[in-house]
Structure 1
Amino acid sequence: MNRASSSAPIAPGRDEMRDERGVVAGLCWMAGWVAAIVAVVVASASAASAIKLAGVPDPGPITTYGLPVVTGVGQLSAAIALGSAVFAAFFVPAQADGIFDIGGYRAMRISAVASLVWGVCGLLGVPLAISDVSGETFAESIKPGNLTSAYGQVAGAQTWLWTAIFALLAAVLARVVWRWGWSIGVIMLVTLSLMPSALAGHSSSGGDHDLATNSLILHIVGAAVWTGGLFAVLAYALARGRWRVLAVRRFSRVAFWCVVVVGTTGVLNALTRVPISDLLDTTYGRLILWKIAAFVVLGGLGAWHRRRTIAELEAQAGDESDAPWWKSLFVRFGAVELAVFAATFGLAAGLSRTPPPPVDTASISPVELKIGYQISEPPNVARMLFDWRFDLIFGTLAIILAAVYLRGVVRLRRRGDEWPIGRTIAWILGCALLLVATSSGLGRYSPAMFSIHMISHMMLSMMVPVLLVLGGPVTLALRALAPAGKDNPAGPREWILTGIHSPWGRIATHPLVAAVIFVGSFYVLYLGGLFETVVEYHAAHLLMNLHFLVSGYVFYWLVIGIDPAPRQVSPVAKLGIVWGSLPFHAFFGVALMMTSSVIAEQYYRSLLLPWRYDLFDDQRIGGGIAWAFGEIPLVVIMLALLVQWQRSDERAARRYDRQADRDQDADLDDYNEMLKSLNKRPG
């Protein structure tokens, strides 16, 4: 592959892969038309009842059928964009200098085009959503005056606009990037573009909407990676890329877990919205059964792929003949599977336009409408410990983190290597606390009471990260994962090392950046008015929990981390960072206790909890908790720093002893000779 010697890289050469762009474009058109047709057919089955339920005039066929088409084609494009970016990042290796190989380069360009299509669909969705809600025709809704006046009143229009913004940003980034590390940014932006629709659909309202929304988030992301990954691998196999066997193997592993996620979350999401008795008696229920049937077909096709077509592809790994693409069983079968995926996306788009079975909202309490479940009794110790409601995202994350860590420890033990038991205990305790903070009574009462929220917050930001950092997960991964070897494609171990030594890693672990984000976010969130603005939204609670975990982990990784880090900080500097940040944290707790007004008072009063308590006193308790909790990890931090300092001195002493053994104390002899020469000088 030729590359210019200047700082600006040129596009990778076209001589290493066949040019099958016409076939790939044909697959895109085929998938798009299948999704659009199925979406229209499904939407037409319930269009009249949807309009009647909405209580607005018929907006016309452009809106009635255009909205499901835009949804189906757009979400399919988002899946292709996400899968192609994941393909470029993890399924095929980049070059030694970090610039994409030809396969990754083409996949990223496909991701850019697909993101652009998704963004255009998002922009079209804005006037379509306004037309759908108002009953005006699309021609009227798209007029600038109507758009600007109705946008703030139509939640669907806001959802589509945020979708378009994230998708277009992903398209721009995917089009200009050349290096492997930037593909992570594309993956994040495309994933963010899927979130507005996941958080605003049928799952976001009514009882159990916390479970329904969390399951839908996992469901959409899993389906997108599965579908888009298949498309990217199929396009790469069509062009006979040299890493196609490796790419298919890696995709096969990812696809297996996508099947597990999509299947499990699909069932959970359906059960929270439709009683089993309504599956056969309602249009919505029958469409869910069709989705289940499509999932079974896709799962069967995937199993067939693993058993037959992948084996054929591996057998032809060394065959570089110029055989036409339709001779490959993998390509033919993959095209059929892609068509089924497209039909499933169309079915899902039509389902989103189909009214679910009516729910008796009169029987749902205000607190259940706000947070998704009923709270009928005040908190006490027993309820905090035993009244659990599993958090599908963070509870699952805690279990997965513990299982993966223990698997790494077992792999080391089987190899005959030792791993400190203290690190394992710290990690498992951290995972257990993460589970307790989000899924026990603490997690259940956290959205309803400020004091309980503050306990959960402090655990997620102050205690869980300390224990996870002391577990040394990066060191364990680097020891448990086998290196790729010279001239072999990079694997998970190399990806971890690249991430650690990336410029973004150095920025995130700068002492000033880590401390400001960790401590400063308390002030911005609670004393700056942000919490009061976002507390009503389920997405905000997910983002807050994620921020607490990540910011706390980065801060303590810098301060007491035993893993390799982008920056090496001396023990004295670490001690200074801890003592420098503690006053700000303590002052935050005091300031919270001294606040003269109740934070998010309107939200907490709207819950109408069935017991009485003083919101101001509850907030003061929360401030006291924030102030006192800082002392708990401080003891652990100081002990860890003292132990690390002692071990650092011991390692330095051992290095000195080994050097002395090699050169027979040459440094000491030189020092003694210098002293003798000084004594011989006249005074």
Structure 2
Amino acid sequence: MPKVIRIAGPAALVAVAFIALILGLEYGGGATALLLEDPGPLVRFGLPIATLFVNLSASLTLGALLLALFVLRRDKPEFNRALDVAAAGAALLTVSAAITGFLSFLNVTASSASLDSKFGQILGQFLSSVPLGQAWLETTLVAAAVTVLCFAVRNLTALVFVAVLATLALVPMAQQGHAAGTDGHDAAITALFLHLLFSAVWLGGLLTLVLLVKQLDNARLVDAVSRYSTVALICFIVVAASGYVSAELRIGSLDRLLTPYGILVLVKVAALIVLGLIGAMYRRLLIRRLNDGQGRAMFWRIVVAELVFMGVASGVAVALARTATPIPEVLPSSPTPAEILTGSPVPPELTYGNFFTQWNFDLLWLLICGFGIFFYIAGVVRLRSRGDSWPMYRTVLWVLGMLLLVFVTNGFMNVYEKYLFSVHMMGHMILAMMIPILLVSAGPVTLAMRAIKKRTDGTRGAREWLLLTVHSRVGTFLANPIVAAVLFATSLLTFYYTPLFRWSTTDHIGHEWMIFHFLIVGYLFAQALIGIDPVPHKLPYPFKLLLLLATMAFHAFFGLTLMTGSGLLLADWYGSMGRAWGASAIADQQAGGGIAWSIGEIPTVILAIVVAIQWGRSDAKESKRLDRNADRTNDAELNEYNAMLQRLDKTR
């Protein structure tokens, strides 16, 4: 019976997804023939069906890789079987992405397939020059590379990079569809990417469990289901949050829920709620029954039910992408320069009152900070529940650092940084200098090492991966104080005087990369100076102060260069916004240099004070240690020293 269900479960998923897709297309009008330049029924129905298989195959690839990295044992057949599943999923993704790209071309051009040279030339131009064609070509090539790597790579650490590469295959997909045309372009791309990624991990992890259950004895199945249920809970939260953001951008108000698009959203929400209830059954009932050796039958019933509702959600999701949104995607007839450059009009004039009233929410950083606060506090609670202590001030510093990160990435700085260089520089200074001081002082690595349970079954969990990262050659190299200081100082020149600055300003993905980069570089520098987490290299305190002063002098020089410079960075961007308020672009850039020089000195003073305090405490501890040693040995070292002086005196 289990063998039949192992086949019937995935088959039910595909069948239900297909039915839900066809019904969704018919109800939402996604497959209705166009009055002009209709591509034909083969394209109208074939394109969403191919997209469905893209989503399912990407899920299988990512889910199998996740289980291989975090759940399965490398010395058991289950590990190699999971990689074979990932390779099969990536191969299917390669084929389905290629078909989707080809059908997208036929849909856009409303042409028929042909073998003549002109058709091939136009197709080549579509794949190489048109963003939609480039996206599907990139996805196809990445999927093909992942297919080969899943067969070739068996090293667990190297598989991390394979999983990252597989994740990158979703980025071009997230940049297409409704996300490319909504008013909140950046928010739509972020929400869609998160939705695709976490729903893929959720669905793919379950599918892989079903395919591998024969290789798992009862104890291993309990571990696998327990770990998967934790991942599934995180996925549920992210999918729900990203789905809400996407629906808000495309529906806007409750009265539009009664439109075809809104009804399909409600169907998907209902499926998500049922999946959440099934997840609760995992944690409250199934795992306990499996522990007692009596839950296999219940496991199969729950899995099949979950796959059916995942099929509903998957099919409706693809149908939604082909359904017209209630909010029409209308381009302004006479766009302003700011609308041409950024996709949005210039915000209202920046005043002190706007510091806390202007917000531009970034779901990625809201989720990162939310999970960061939750898991940190959960770790503290776990320590205290077993009788261990953890200083309260560290928890306060961590929460403050995360809240400040939320404000920088979602508040007025995220609204105005595209239009004012000075605001961008203010955010840069806080990201690279202020937030890392708070986070480093909270000792997150030490807390994780003490709070996360150590695995003893040969698999790697969060604790094992964190230890591996910290003690790796790359981690050791980056943690070197000299290297951290050089990275911190040279990042300014590398970023602002290379194409990286343009990329981070004009492209949403570049903007997210910029935030990660300055956070990490600032964290490494602060850790080298005042960190309480263990590191392989520690400088003496006098050298720490010298390193701080030298680095900050370079920082101040950069700020003064901007203050006195007359050349405008990104003149075709900051100088072309058409702002009717505020200082000129060059004056604003000079103000940004003043911010880099003046505000940057505040964290410098804080770092210097903390280093001095730690130095004083270190000397006090050393004095106490010497006093205790003297009391224990009756001043043996001092007596030996005095005896040596007497011997030297006698020899004169």
- Deviations along 1:389-409, one digit per CA (max 9) or x if unpaired, are 433222343343234333433
1:582, CA displacement in angstroms?
2.8
Alignment of 1:341-356 (within 5 A): 341-356=310-325
Q: Does 1:621 align with 2:591?
A: yes
1:532 alignment partner in structure 2: 502
The answer on 1:391 being equivalent to 2:362 is yes
The structure-2 alpha-carbon separation of the partners of 1:653 and 1:432, relative to structure 1 and needing over 3 Å to count, comes to: same
Task: Confirm or deny that 1:542 pairs with 2:512.
Answer: yes
The residue aligned with 2:257 is 279
Match of 1:222 in 2: 198
Q: Label 1:344 to 1:643 Cα distance change in 2 as closer, same or farther (>3 A).
A: same
| Matched AA of 1:531 | F
Judged with a 3 Å threshold, the aligned counterparts in structure 2 of structure 1 residues 502 and 198 are, in CA distance, closer, same or farther, namely same
Which is worse superposed, 137-146 or 430-439?
137-146
> How many residues are aligned here?
645
Aligned partners of 1:207 and 1:368 also within 8 Å: no
1:316 equivalent to 2:293? Answer yes
Structure 1 Cα separation of the partners of residues 304 and 446 of structure 2? 42
Residue of 547, 569, 574 corresponding to 1:599: 569
Give 1:416-431 correspondences, 5 Å limit.
416-431=387-402
Q: 1:78 aligns with which of 58, 72, 87?
A: 58
How far off its partner does 1:669 sit?
Answer: 5.2
- Correspondence for 1:295: 272
- Stretch of structure 1 that moved more, 179-188 or 662-671: 662-671
**Residue of structure 2 in register with 1:468 after alignment:** 439
Tell me the equivalent position of 2:375.
404
Distance, in Å, in 2 between the alignment partners of 1:633 and 1:308 is 51
* Deviations 1:388-438, CA, capped at 9 Å, x for gaps: 343322234334323433343344445444433443343233223212212
**Aligned-partner Cα distance in 1 for 2:422–2:84:** 49
Aligned mates of 1:541, 1:377 — CA distance in 2 = 22
Deviation at 1:458, TM superposition (A): 1.4
Change (3 A) 1:679 1:62: farther
The amino acid that maps onto 1:385 is F
What is the alpha-carbon distance in structure 2 between the residues aligned to residue 378 and residue 353 of structure 1?
A: 39
Deviation digits for residues 603-634 of structure 1, max 9, x if unmatched? Answer: 34665445364112112212222232331211
Alpha-carbon distance, 1:459 to partner:
0.9
RMSD of aligned residue pairs (Cα, Å): 3.5
Q: Distance in 1 between matches of 2:633 and 2:452?
A: 37
Distance 2:116 2:553 in 1: 55
Distance 1:594 1:101, change over 3 A: farther
Corresponding letter in the other structure for 2:203: T
Between the aligned partners of 1:175 and 1:514, the Cα distance in structure 2 is: 37
Distance 1:74 1:135 in 2: 22
TM-score (normalised: structure 2): 0.87
Instruction: Measure the CA separation in 2 of the matches of 1:450 and 1:637.
Output: 26
Q: What SS does structure 1 have at the residue aligned with 2:111? A: coil
Alignment of 1:50-65 (within 5 A): 51-52=34-35, 57-65=37-45
Structure 1 gap segments, 5+ residues each: 1-18, 320-326
* Aligned counterparts, 1:75-114, within 5 A: 75-92=55-72, 94=73, 101-114=76-89
Q: 1:190 to 1:658 in 2, by over 3 A?
A: farther
Aligned residue number for residue 251 of structure 1: 228
Looking at structure 1, the residues matched to 376 and 334 of structure 2 have their Cα atoms a distance apart, in angstroms, of 41
CA contact (8 A) 1:79 1:223 kept: yes
Shift in Å at residue 378 of structure 1? 0.6
Partner of 2:552: 582
Distance 1:294 1:447, change over 3 A: same
In the TM superposition, what are the counterparts of 1:317-396 in structure 2 within 5 Å? 328-357=297-326, 358-362=328-332, 366=336, 367=338, 375-396=346-367
Q: Which moved more, 1:549-558 or 1:568-577?
A: 568-577
- 1:643 deviation in Å? 2.3
Q: What SS does the corresponding residue of 1:72 show, helix, strand or coil? A: helix
C-alpha deviations, 1:310-356, integer Å up to 9, x for none? 34322218x9xxxxxxx733134313422432342233223222332
What does the per-residue CA deviation read over 1:542-572, in whole Å, with 9 as the maximum and x for residues that have no partner?
Answer: 2222222122212222232111224444434
Q: Does the 8 Å contact 2:481/2:538 carry over to 1?
A: no
Aligned partners of 2:94, 2:549: CA distance in 1, in Å? Answer: 47
Tell me if the contact between 2:394 and 2:441 (Cα under 8 Å) persists in the aligned partners.
yes
Cα offsets for 1:119-151 (capped at 9, x unmatched): 343344433333322223344699653343233
Q: Which residue of 1 aligns with 2:603?
A: 633
Return the match for 1:266 from 243, 252, 272: 243
Give the residue type in structure 1 aligned to 2:112.
T
Structure 1 residues 651 and 302, CA gap change in structure 2 (3 angstroms): same
Give the Cα–Cα distance (whole angstroms) in 2 for the partners of residues 112 and 490 of structure 1. 21
Higher relative contact order, chain-length normalized (CA < 8 Å, sep 6+): 2
Partner residue, 1:151: 127
Between stretches 209-218 and 661-670, larger displacement belongs to 661-670
Aligned residue for 1:448, secondary structure, equals: coil
SS at match of 1:393: helix
Q: Secondary structure at the match of 1:562?
A: coil
CA contact 2:413–2:424 (8 Å) conserved in 1: yes
CA distance in 2, matches of 1:31, 1:453: 47
Aligned to 1:190: 166
Structure 2 partner of 1:199: 175
Which secondary structure does the structure 2 equivalent of 1:535 belong to? helix
| Whole-angstrom CA distance in 2 between matches of 1:255 and 1:364 | 46
Q: Does 1:505 align with 2:475?
A: yes
Per-residue deviation, residues 157-183 of structure 1 (Å, max 9, x unmatched): 122233334434444444344344334
Change (3 A) 1:137 1:651: farther
Query: Secondary structure of 1:378's partner?
Result: coil
Give the Cα–Cα distance (whole angstroms) in 2 for the partners of residues 592 and 549 of structure 1. Answer: 22
Counterpart CA distance in 1 for 2:324 and 2:137 is 23
Query: Where does residue 14 of structure 1 map in the other structure?
Result: none
Aligned to 2:101: 126
**Identity fraction in percent:** 36
Contact preservation (8 Å) 2:568, 2:589: yes
SS of aligned partner of 2:133? helix
Instruction: State the Cα distance separating 1:90 from its structure 2 match.
Output: 2.2
- Distance in 2 (CA, whole Å) between partners of 1:617 and 1:222 is 44
Change beyond 3 A, Cα 1:121–1:586 = farther
State the TM-score, normalizing by the size of structure 1.
0.84
Matches within 5 A, 1:155-166: 155-166=131-142
What is the CA deviation profile of residues 3-40 of structure 1, one whole-angstrom value per residue up to 9, with x for unaligned ones?
xxxxxxxxxxxxxxxx98x9867765664565456545
Indicate how the Cα distance of structure 1 residues 568 and 331 shifts in structure 2: closer, same or farther if over 3 A, else same.
Answer: farther
68-77 or 494-503, which moves further after superposition? 494-503
Name the amino acid aligned to 2:406.
Answer: L
Q: Is the 8 A contact 1:122 1:163 kept in 2?
A: yes
Displacement after TM superposition at 1:680 (Å): 4.6
- Indicate conservation of the 8 Å contact 2:562/2:590, yes or no: yes
Q: Whole-Å Cα distance in 2 between the matches of residues 63 and 374 of structure 1?
A: 37
CA contact (8 A) 2:70 2:459 kept: no
Matched letter for residue 57 of structure 2: S
Structure 1 residues 301, 420: closer, same or farther in 2, change over 3 A? closer
Note if contact 1:452-1:622 (Cα within 8 Å) is conserved in structure 2: yes
How many angstroms apart in 2 are the aligned matches of 1:604 and 1:582?
27
Deviations 1:359-378 (A, max 9, x none): 44449975568657665421
Offset from partner CA, 1:74-126 (integer Å, 9 cap, x none): 2222222222222222234x5xxxx5644334323322332333234334443
| CA distance 1:175–1:150, change in 2 (3 Å) | same
